[in-house]
């Protein structure tokens, strides 16, 4: 039904569009199609900063049509891990791609000078970005582009900050101010291509083959989203509600995972943010939930009543990464750190991880003031962490150059690998719940907690014990079905709404007839295709090193045993065939 792929060559500025129904008919869209495009376009073994490394964006067959189908999948070779780079973002981008008439976009090459892409329907131009290339603020870049580009109301603006320009390996791509392609370093790949931003808008309308069936299905899904309790938590406190919950369960990584409980959690909890700092809630396009929580931070910049007011989005992972993981005790200070990372265009989860590792290194005298250029690292020291964030972006010496490449690289250079808290080369999400979370992030195609929700399997096991094999079976089920979900591309927050049957029925409304078993088979095929790319780039599960820290700190399920993790990995490989 929709199968247009826009190919752009930054070397020449040329572009063309192809009908790739061969891919969309077989893999639906989203992550399924993006994976095939990555296999087609990314030569084996290239450097992530090679002009040949593609940047791919892909939407799905339900995009803009049903509630909460508001995400875009991006794919590239990651400069962080050297293998599969995949990140998802909301905002208005999915809508803008649909209205512009593009179901996937493939960008290759390197522009001769700092540039940005302007895409409005079939008008695709590479424009000069020299004047905005070195702007210190992602926010200001967005404001300037909004003034000079058309498409208001149907427009999305992606852009990078100084971290991407300087090719910090965990630089992100900001999408419409409050959303991001956050993980695995796509911002650095933008920077390597001299690509500052992409603006997309369009005027196409969406036509459906069976409007009565569509309206009936839309009403059903909308009702499940807004009239049941499935989505309430995301609107109320948002994911920040997890701070107090995981703290009580001893599943909250704290101070570089030296602890799984934070004594000051209450003052940086979702409840504290909502009661004292929350300004408003906003939503991605085509979503009735409004899960994006925006806080207001007042900062005095001059004597008297002279204040700067910043609007800063927050969620659980950001509060964990720059809060509990660094021993920060006040919500206002967490916001200061989030804001600094946002302005530079840094992935906050990786930034928090590398800062936590550095703090423990300093605490153990394994790095000294000459390494940090005079900054004393102590848990909870917001002012010095702000200085560290600036220097990670500036990279003024060898130590900061190492930090800009991530925790795994820095630890290989300076030591502390036993407490360099990463899995597969990526700093972990904010869960120390048990073995399923650890194994899930190792085997996950992008080493993300969102690949298979291992943390939620641990939480189920806390009330009803599960064997190693039962945990692995649940991980595999999630791995396959989340491939389907991410090919449609539904927001994972709405996974309770988009059940197997609802996916089948929703696809039927747009003329795509698939059975439940056919969808599961597609999910498995996409999963194996991703592992084909990962293995092509050198990934081997047996060679993944699990830092000792994971087995030293109590989790929600008690102490995790190394033998349990090894057994689960063995079972996983046997059952999936990877």
pLDDT of the residue at 547: 98
Is the previous residue joined to 253 through a cis bond, with omega within 30 degrees of 0?
A: no
Beta partners for residue 62, in sequence order: none
Span 238-419: which CATH code? Answer: 1.10.569.10
Domains 238-419 and 433-576 share a fold: no
In degrees rounded to 5, what are phi and psi of residue 401? -65, -40
Q: How confident is the model at residue 126 (pLDDT cuts 50, 70, 90)?
A: very high
64-97 pLDDT, tens digit per residue, is 999 999 999 999 999 999 999 999 999 999 999 9
Distances (CA, A) of 573 to 31, 407, 550, 570: 22, 27, 21, 5
Mean residue pLDDT across the chain: 97
* pLDDT computed for residue 262 by the predictor: 99
Please tell me the CATH code under which domain 4-201 is placed.
Answer: 3.60.9.10
Residues of the chain with pLDDT > 90, as a percent, come to: 97
pLDDT at 25: 97
pTM (2 d.p.): 0.98
Output the CA torsion 2→284→157→19 (10° steps). -10
Q: How far apart are CA 199 and CA 192, in angstroms?
A: 18
* 8 A C-beta contact, residue 499 and residue 478: no
Domain 433-576 - what CATH class? mainly alpha
- Local confidence band at 515 (pLDDT 50, 70, 90 cut-offs): very high
* Lowest mean pLDDT across 120-124, 130-134, 306-310, 571-575: 306-310
Q: Which two tokens stand for residue 477?
A: 């089920």
| pLDDT exceeds 80 at position 1 | no
Q: What are phi and psi of 457, to 5 degrees?
A: -70, -40
Q: Using one digit for the tens of pLDDT, what is the confidence trace for 351-381?
A: 999 999 999 999 999 999 999 999 999 999 9
What are the boundaries of each domain within the chain? 4-201, 238-419, 433-576
End-to-end CA distance of the chain: 33
Convert the pLDDT of each residue in 273-308 to its tens digit.
Answer: 999 999 999 999 999 999 999 999 998 888 888 899
Helix axis angle, 435-443 relative to 454-463, nearest 10°?
160
**Paired tokens of 451:** 């690949």
Model confidence at 184: pLDDT above 80: yes
Give the per-residue pLDDT at 64: 93
pLDDT surpasses 90 at 230: no
DSSP code string of 367-410: S-HHHHTTPPP-TT-HHHHHHHHHHHHH--SHHHHHHTT-HHHH
């Amino acid at each position: 039904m929709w199968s247009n792929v826009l190919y752009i060559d930054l070397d020449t500025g040329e572009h063309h569009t192809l009908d790739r129904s061969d891919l969309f008919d077989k893999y639906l869209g989203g992550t399924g199609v993006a994976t095939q495009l990555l296999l087609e376009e990314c030569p084996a073994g290239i450097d992530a900063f090679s002009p040949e490394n593609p940047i791919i964006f892909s939407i799905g067959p339900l995009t803009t049509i049903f509630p909460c189908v508001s995400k875009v999948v991006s794919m590239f070779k990651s400069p962080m891990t050297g293998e599969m780079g995949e990140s998802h973002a909301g905002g208005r981008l999915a809508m803008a791609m649909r209205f512009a008439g593009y179901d996937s976009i493939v960008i290759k090459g390197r522009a001769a000078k700092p540039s940005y892409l302007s895409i409005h329907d079939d008008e695709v131009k590479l424009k000069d970005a020299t004047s905005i290339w070195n702007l210190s603020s992602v926010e200001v870049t967005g404001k300037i582009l909004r003034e000079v580009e058309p498409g208001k109301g149907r427009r999305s603006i992606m852009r990078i900050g100084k971290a991407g320009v300087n090719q910090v390996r965990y630089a992100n791509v900001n999408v419409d101010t409050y959303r991001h392609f956050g993980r695995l370093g796509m911002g650095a790949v933008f920077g390597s291509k001299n690509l500052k931003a992409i603006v997309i808008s369009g005027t196409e309308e969406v036509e459906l083959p069976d409007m009565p069936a569509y309206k009936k299905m839309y009403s059903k899904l909308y009702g499940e989203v807004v009239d049941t309790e499935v989505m309430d938590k995301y609107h109320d406190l948002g994911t920040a509600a997890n701070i107090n919950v995981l703290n009580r369960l001893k599943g909250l990584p704290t101070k570089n995972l030296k602890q799984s409980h934070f004594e000051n959690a209450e003052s940086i909890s979702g409840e504290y943010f909502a009661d004292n700092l929350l300004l408003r809630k906003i939503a991605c396009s085509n979503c009735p939930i409004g899960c994006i929580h925006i806080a207001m931070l007042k900062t005095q910049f001059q004597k008297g009543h002279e204040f700067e007011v910043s609007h800063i989005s927050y969620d659980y992972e950001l509060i964990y990464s720059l809060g509990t993981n660094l021993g920060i005790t006040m919500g206002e200070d967490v916001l200061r750190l989030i804001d600094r990372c946002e302005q530079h265009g840094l992935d906050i989860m990786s930034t928090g991880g590398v800062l936590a590792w550095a703090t423990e290194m300093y605490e153990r005298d394994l790095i000294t003031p000459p390494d940090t250029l005079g900054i004393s690292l102590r848990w909870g020291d917001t002012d010095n962490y702000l200085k560290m964030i600036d220097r990670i972006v500036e990279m003024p010496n060898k130590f900061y150059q190492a930090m800009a490449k991530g925790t795994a690289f820095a630890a290989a250079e300076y030591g502390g690998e036993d407490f360099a808290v990463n899995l597969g080369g990526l700093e972990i999400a904010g869960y120390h719940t048990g073995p399923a979370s650890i194994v899930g992030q190792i085997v996950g195609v992008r080493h993300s907690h969102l690949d298979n929700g291992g943390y939620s399997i641990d939480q189920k096991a806390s009330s009803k014990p599960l064997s190693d094999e039962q945990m692995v079976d649940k991980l595999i089920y999630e791995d396959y079905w989340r491939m389907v979900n991410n090919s449609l591309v539904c927001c994972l927050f709405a996974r309770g709404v988009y059940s197997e049957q609802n996916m089948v029925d929703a696809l039927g409304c747009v003329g795509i007839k698939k059975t439940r078993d056919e969808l599961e088979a597609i999910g498995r095929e996409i999963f194996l295709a991703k592992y084909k790319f990962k293995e092509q780039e050198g990934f081997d599960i047996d060679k993944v090193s699990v830092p000792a820290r994971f087995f030293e700190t109590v989790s929600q399920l008690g102490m995790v045993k190394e033998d349990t993790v090894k057994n689960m990995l063995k079972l996983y490989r046997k059952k999936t065939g990877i």
